[in-house]
């Protein structure tokens, strides 16, 4: 079977409609609406691209979460990337979505227009070629991403050390999913202002879960009474996961289930986890855009690798920076507002000229609504 044919069965209109019919039938038996947060931006784009909102009953609602690594990056850390890129004899490497994210001094695209050597890579391991081709330059890898990309950064560090490469440094911005899920629940439980903003269940991110396993979500049914279904990114995956959640509520169950069984198990990739733990340890605090400082929600290099840490070696500012006053990215990332509720959405703020991070990234909620908004019929 060709790869295209493999994916097509997860995009089959007949399968999607059959699942929609089953959800609509079973959702009639619910005694209250269900608000499902899809943590990952990949799910948000699938929901918008394939018009899944229109297929679901009104008592099944999606709340868009903060699962976009570019979107949650605060301005001060974007400034770090800009400042590092402007250093003499430095090549700054990062993943492509970072290019247009505006900081207080400008974006990396602006830095490059001023002569900075900024390069965008598809994988952290691509940095090795750049390092070897530029032995007289200091190459700094500005690392971003959730658990999905963290082991690749660890593998880059491992390879560079084994090959005794000395002209590479790292600025680590890897974040973790469970801590932000806790924060989102706790903040709502303490300051709930309407039922519409309550989180009843989660779609667990698929690629993250390949690395971590589903075990990282087990506290949510037991401690928080929120079921979690780990779902793949295709439309059939999402619809099947929604049906699984509806059935949990109807059967008075509250569990972690795996819809994405073709790639995810309970334990995850143990080798990747060991590699992460070899080089990284949790930060006491990490600021998420729109959510503030969340304890133990991000990685940093262990002290023994401090000589590789650009954050320690360069005099980078530590002051927090406020977002643009007209931008409501913070509320969107917390799932408290939809992109269309922002007064500058699609006018002053577009993918070509973004004011906020949610419009910049290919995984951002604003980018999804801008790209697929013509498919959206607002479901209240």
Q: What is the domain-level CATH number for residue 109?
A: 3.40.50.11740
What tens digit of pLDDT does each residue of 87-127 get? 999 999 998 788 888 889 999 999 999 999 999 999 998 99
SS3 state at 134: coil
SS3 state at 178: helix
> Domain limits at 146?
75-175+298-313
Q: Among 283, 313, 343, identify where a domain stops.
A: 313
- Residue 196 pLDDT: 55
Contact 252, 263 (CB under 8 A): no
Sign of CA dihedral 291, 297, 299, 303: positive
309, 333: one domain? no
Nearest to 48 by CA among 351, 356, 364, 294: 364
143, 170: one domain? yes
Q: How many domains does the chain have?
A: 2
Q: Among 313, 341, 356, identify where a domain stops.
A: 313
Nearest to 69 by CA among 232, 199, 205: 205
306, 347: one domain? no
HSE-CB for 238 with a 13 A CA cutoff = 30
> What H or E segment, with its residue span, contains residue 63?
strand 60-67
What number is the average pLDDT over the span 251-262? 97
Q: DSSP H helical segments within 125-234, as ranges?
A: 127-133, 150-162, 177-191, 206-212, 219-223
More confident residue, 196 or 94: 94
249 is a domain residue = no
140, 103: one domain? yes
The Cα angle at residue 361 between residues 73 and 55, in degrees rounded to 5: 120
| CA pair distance 171, 142, nearest whole angstrom | 5
Q: Which residues of 34-53 are buried (b: 16+ CB within 10 A; e: fewer)?
A: bbbbbbbbbbbbbbbebebb
307 is a domain residue = yes
Q: Among 281, 313, 345, identify where a domain stops.
A: 313
What tens digit of pLDDT does each residue of 297-355 get? 999 999 999 999 999 999 899 888 887 778 888 888 888 888 989 999 989 888 888 88
| CA pair distance 247, 201, nearest whole angstrom | 12
Q: 369: which residues sit within 8 A by CB, 6+ positions away?
A: 48, 338, 339, 340, 345, 376
363 is a domain residue = yes
306, 354: one domain? no
308, 371: one domain? no
Phi, psi of 118 (to 5 degrees): -110, 125
9 is a domain residue = no
161 is a domain residue = yes
| CA pair distance 129, 135, nearest whole angstrom | 11
96 is a domain residue = yes
Nearest to 37 by CA among 293, 265, 245, 190: 245
30 is a domain residue = no
| CA pair distance 268, 278, nearest whole angstrom | 17
| CA pair distance 54, 48, nearest whole angstrom | 9
104, 153: one domain? yes
What tens digit of pLDDT does each residue of 31-69 get? 999 999 999 989 999 999 999 999 999 999 999 988 888
Q: What percent of the chain has pLDDT over 90?
A: 71
- pLDDT band of residue 379 (cuts 50, 70, 90) is very low
155, 122: one domain? yes
- Residue 17 pLDDT: 96
Question: Which residues partner with 36 through β-bridges?
Answer: 62, 201
289 is a domain residue = no
Nearest to 95 by CA among 166, 145, 147, 28: 145
What tens digit of pLDDT does each residue of 132-176 get? 999 999 999 999 999 999 999 999 999 999 999 999 999 999 999
């Amino acid at each position: 079977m060709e790869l295209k044919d493999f994916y097509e069965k997860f995009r089959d209109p007949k399968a999607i409609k059959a699942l929609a019919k089953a959800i609509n039938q079973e959702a009639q038996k619910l005694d209250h609406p269900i608000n499902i947060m899809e943590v990952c931006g990949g799910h948000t784009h699938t929901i918008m691209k394939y018009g899944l909102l229109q297929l679901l009953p009104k008592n099944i609602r999606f709340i868009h979460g903060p699962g976009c690594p570019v979107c949650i990056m605060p301005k001060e850390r974007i400034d770090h990337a800009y400042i590092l890129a402007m250093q003499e004899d430095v090549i700054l490497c990062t993943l492509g979505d970072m290019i247009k994210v505006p900081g207080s001094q400008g974006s990396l695209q602006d830095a490059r227009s001023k002569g900075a050597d900024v390069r965008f890579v598809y994988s952290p391991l691509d940095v090795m070629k750049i390092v070897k081709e530029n032995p007289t330059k200091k190459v700094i890898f500005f690392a971003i991403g959730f658990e999905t990309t963290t082991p690749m950064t660890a593998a880059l560090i491992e390879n560079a050390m084994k090959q005794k490469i000395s002209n590479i440094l790292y600025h680590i911005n890897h974040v973790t999913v469970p801590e932000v899920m806790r924060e989102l629940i706790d903040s709502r439980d303490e300051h709930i202002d309407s039922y519409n903003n309550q989180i009843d269940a989660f779609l667990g991110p698929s690629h993250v879960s390949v690395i971590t396993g589903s075990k990282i979500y087990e506290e949510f049914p037991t401690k928080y009474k929120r079921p979690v279904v780990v779902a793949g990114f295709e439309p059939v995956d999402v619809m099947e996961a929604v049906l699984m959640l509806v059935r949990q509520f109807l059967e008075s169950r509250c569990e972690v289930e795996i819809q994405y069984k073709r790639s995810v198990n309970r334990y995850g990739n143990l080798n990747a986890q060991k590699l992460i733990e070899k080089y990284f340890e949790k930060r006491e605090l990490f600021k998420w855009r729109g959510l503030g400082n969340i304890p133990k929600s991000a990685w940093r290099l262990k002290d023994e690798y401090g000589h590789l840490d650009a954050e320690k070696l360069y005099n980078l500012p530590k002051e927090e920076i406020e977002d643009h006053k007209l931008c409501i990215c913070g509320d969107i990332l917390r799932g408290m507002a939809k992109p269309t509720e922002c007064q500058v959405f699609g006018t002053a703020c577009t993918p070509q000229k973004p004011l906020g991070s949610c419009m910049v990234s290919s995984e951002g909620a604003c980018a999804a609504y801008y790209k697929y908004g013509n498919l959206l019929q607002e479901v209240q």
